Amino acid sequence: MPQSRHPLKLLLLSTSVGALGSGLGGGVELTLKNIAHALQQRGHQITIVAPSNSVLEGVFLVTIAGELQTTAQTQGRDAPITLPNDSVLANMWAYARQHQPDYDLLINFAYDWLPFYVTPFFDRPIAHLVSMGSLTDAMDQVIEQVALEFPGTIAVHSHAQAKTFEFADQCRNVQNGFDLSLYKFCARPKHQLAWVGRIAPEKGLEDAVAAAQIVGTPLKIWGVIQDTAYWNQICADYPDAPIDYCGFLPTSELQHRLGQSQALLMTPRWIEAFGNVAIEALACGVPVIAYRRGGPTEIVRDGETGWLVEPDRVDELVSAISKLDRLDRPACRRQAEAEYSLDAMGDRLEAWFEAILKRV
Ligand code: UDP
């Protein structure tokens, strides 16, 4: 791992929809962890601010009490900005304001209005890593204001995500990076398919369940049940589907069991900003069958490390599953190593920070 020539003091502010380690923060939790480790390995000094009960080993963590934010993806386009009484988000940013002189740069991981709104009032620069595509008008407006007033400070995970915003050309694509040593290659899978993610309507689990029922292959499901009514509806609609809900697992266990799958199915209804689980699967040698929509279209090499299929078409998922033997599991692992290592991510982040700090 190359040591940085200019070690920085960096304050990373986590999402405020859940504690780190709870799974409620979705992909942001692993993204934050990976970024913290990538930067620490290069000699940067990292502090993370996160809600109470957060757990993250090996990084200096400041936990802050308060009420959690609700998740943005459950609201409509015209949803107003809301903050609960004793908001943890507000409390985290009060901490940031007070301690900013100790840092070179602050990095915001929350898809929330407040950190963007307060950006001009801070002395230190703030880099914003936007974790989702366009969801509400109020968010679009506040992110655009920051993009225009502080050029270069907005980053995203894919071009597809950037394109959901009118200010796409102001967004820097940093993709994502993973500690690939934690993911073991599995050459011989079991007779099972996998689906991994928050169980919530925008993730489209029902299509994967329908496909598994048609092909008769067991579908293992891992992830937090964020929307219980949605999950119950799937169980009611597909009582005979060969599905097995296996809970929310830590990375070490998830990669072991995911690795034993013939393929990962990604069936999002929304424009997935990136799709961490795609890289986690590839790193284990598991090909990805994904809807041709959002981040996965920039990850999956169609016909080599997976199949990209017409969105919302269960029949296309079924035909892709029947062609899995044409894909090459070692090529999946090789792609993860070539494009999505912590080192590759570290290079992209350092270049982003350097560009921001040059303008200050
Ligand atoms: N995840 C996990 N354990 C599980 C299931 C999922 O740690 O049992 C994590 C997974 O590693 C990934 C995240 O949940 O980082 C899902 O992120 P993704 O980017 O795929 O989707 P998001 O939830 O952000 O929409």
- Residue-wise pLDDT for 239-280, tens only, equals 999 999 999 999 999 999 999 999 999 999 999 999 999 999
3-state secondary structure of 193: strand
- Is any ligand 1 atom within 6 A of the Cβ of residue 95? no
Helix segments in 272-328, DSSP class H: 276-283, 296-299, 314-321
Domain boundaries, the chain: 9-176+341-358, 180-339
pLDDT of 25 over the 80 cut:
yes
| Ligand 1 centre distance from Cα of residue 244 (Å) | 17
CATH number 3.90.950.10 is the correct assignment for the domain at 9-176+341-358: no
- Is any ligand 1 atom within 6 A of the Cβ of residue 294? no
Residue 210 tokens read as 């329908």
Average pLDDT, the chain: 97
| Ligand 1 centre distance from Cα of residue 123 (Å) | 34
Q: Region 222-242: what's the mean pLDDT?
A: 97
| Topology alike, domains 9-176+341-358 and 180-339 | yes
CB-hemisphere CA count at 13 Å for 150?
Answer: 25
Position of tokens 């599991």? 329
pLDDT of 75 over the 70 cut:
yes
Can you give the pLDDT at residue 5?
74
CA distance 12 to 26: 17
Q: Which atom of ligand 1 is nearest to the CA of 31?
A: 15
Position of tokens 């390995």? 41
- Is any ligand 1 atom within 6 A of the Cβ of residue 26? yes
Residue 302 tokens read as 């169609």
Q: What is the pLDDT of residues 316-355, one digit of tens each?
A: 999 999 999 999 999 999 999 999 999 999 999 999 999 9
Q: Which atom of ligand 1 is nearest to the CA of 248?
A: 8
Instruction: Note the CATH number of domain 180-339.
Output: 3.40.50.2000
CA distance 174 to 218: 35
Can you give the pLDDT at residue 191?
98
* 198, 256, 288: residue to mutate for ligand 1 pocket, most atoms within 8 A of CB: 198
> Confidence class of residue 1 from pLDDT cuts 50, 70 and 90?
low
DSSP 12-51: EE--SSS-TTSSTTTHHHHHHHHHHHHHHHTT-EEEEEEE
